[in-house]
Chain A
């Protein structure tokens, strides 16, 4: 089973976005970072890329991002497989900029997980991303199709999700 965790943090503002970009592009820990519509090799540039879209549509004060963690079970044993899955999973949110990476964390039933940070404002039309349950279930279906495993969705409220 693959765990899909949606993290709710609506109080961080743009600082939360900046932290998210630094966390996901952190070269010391991130395995095979990638992204769409952002420079994922540079945290500051990544933040600026997302902020520019927000400013264009005059939406800088809403919840800045959607943070999703996908935790693979121990069927995924190597970095290459994990990073390939992460790259495919990230493509779900079309119309939005995103940055992702894979992390290694040795646990009893899981070795790898991915972090996906999505700009809440669409670069196409400025629409805010929907985190309603139906959309998240569709995302879980997408993850299940890619990993060929069932998924378990949970929603957590956190204020320190980019601070470990």
Chain B
């Protein structure tokens, strides 16, 4: 059961320009989120938490793979690992 402070129980109306609405809609679509979800996430998480969970998730996977490579002494694994790191760079 979701706790009271995690329930989305508040409804707020806000003012914005047509241009601002267009930009937010596009960004929300890019992130596969609804208009309101994107706005809340951006406001709540982007200010003091600039690191999205995708980054530590990817880094953790890279470390996990490195551990497997070390166990198996697998040269081809290192090539795959480098591709993962390139993918991480491409997120910037």
Contact = CB atoms under 8 A, between A and B. Distances in A.
B54 interface: yes
B2 A39 contact: no
Q: Is the interface of B mostly helix, strand, loop or mixed?
A: helix
Nearest to B55: A123
B2 A49 contact: no
Contacts of A60: 3, 6
A145 interface: no
B2 A62 contact: yes
Contacts, number: 50
A152 interface: no
Given A39-B63, A126-B41, A53 B53 contact: yes
B36 interface: no
Given A39-B63, A60-B3, A61-B1, 12 more contacts: A34-B64, A36-B57, A37-B56, A37-B60, A41-B67, A52-B53, A53-B53, A53-B57, A58-B44, A61-B6, A124-B53, A125-B31
